Each structure stands twice: as C-alpha cells, then as structure tokens.
Amino acid sequence: MRLAHALALLPLLAVPGMAAEPEKIVRSVLPGETVRVYIAYHVERDCTRSGEIRLAMIEPPAQGRLFLKETTTRGGFSYNNPRYACNQREIPAVEVVYEASGKADGLQRARYGLVFGDGQMRLIDAEITVWAPPAEPKAE
C-alpha cells in the first residue's frame, strides 16, 4: 500500500464508536462468481434509512473486487431496542459483495470499513477462499 493512501485512511481508523478489533468474516466462492461477504443496515426508530453507508477499502483483495449493493433485509434488533419493530418488516440495507476474477484461485484477504451516516465505523477482515472443484476424471 502506498504511504499517501495509508495516511489518508488513518482518520478512518480512529472513528468514535468503532470496535477495537475487526470482525472476521470467512467465505468461499468459485472463480468468476460472487458471494455476499457482509450485510449492514442503519435505521431510525421508524425503520427508515439513517444516512448513507459507505465502503472504505483499507486493504483490497489481491484478485477480484469488493463492492456495495443495495438490498433489503429483516432487522435483528433485541427486544429492548426501540427498533425492535423493524424485525417484522424489510428494511433498507447494503451487501458487501466479493466478485472473484475468472482466474482467481486461493485465499484472498481484504480489510475494509463500513462507515455509517452518523460517523461510526465497523472494521471487517475478510478471508475469501476462491477454489475450483477438481475436474472429473475422464471416462475411458
């Protein structure tokens, strides 16, 4: 990583409300395919979107790419959370998707942050295994 790029990301690593340790995600995918790595939502009490969620790439995968995709999901709020009613309906969300290149193979590592509208950030370490199943033996 270039020094200027790393220095530009330093403010993102000290955002209040960010967990001290990154969350670790492990996935696998076939070459040329996509896989959902993570899903995130940030909503108000009335279940409407609470600002934009942005992807801050800290260490991109060596092959393939990570990107955000708009979606909806059901909330996972605890009973005592004022947003508990959002568990009963579809709410706006984003998926972090990994797209493997057609020739990728092996373990791809990435570190990224999800930056929420209120300035909080969730740091994620992703390990994605790109593998091709062994070819079937030829029948003689």
10 Å CB burial of residue 135 (0-12, 13-18, 19+) is exposed
Is the model more confident about 17 or about 83?
83
Strand order across the beta sheet in which 90-99 lies? 34-40, 90-99, 65-74
Rg of the chain over Cα atoms, rounded to whole angstroms, equals: 18
Closest to 123 measured CA to CA, from 15, 6, 1: 15
pLDDT in tens, 18-28: 456 899 999 99
Please name the CATH architecture into which domain 18-130 falls.
Sandwich (2.60)
Mean pLDDT of 41-58: 96
Distance of CA 95 to the CA centre of its chain: 6
CA pair distance 113, 56, nearest whole angstrom: 5
Q: Is residue 109 predicted with pLDDT exceeding 50?
A: yes
**Residue 22 to residues 18, 121, 126, Cα–Cα distance (Å):** 9, 10, 10
Please give the pLDDT value at position 24: 97
The alpha helices in the chain, defined as continuous H runs, are 3-9
DSSP-derived letter for residue 6 is H
Q: Is residue 94 predicted with pLDDT exceeding 70?
A: yes
Q: Is residue 137 predicted with pLDDT exceeding 80?
A: no
Q: Is residue 3 predicted with pLDDT exceeding 50?
A: no
- Confidence class of residue 10 from pLDDT cuts 50, 70 and 90? very low
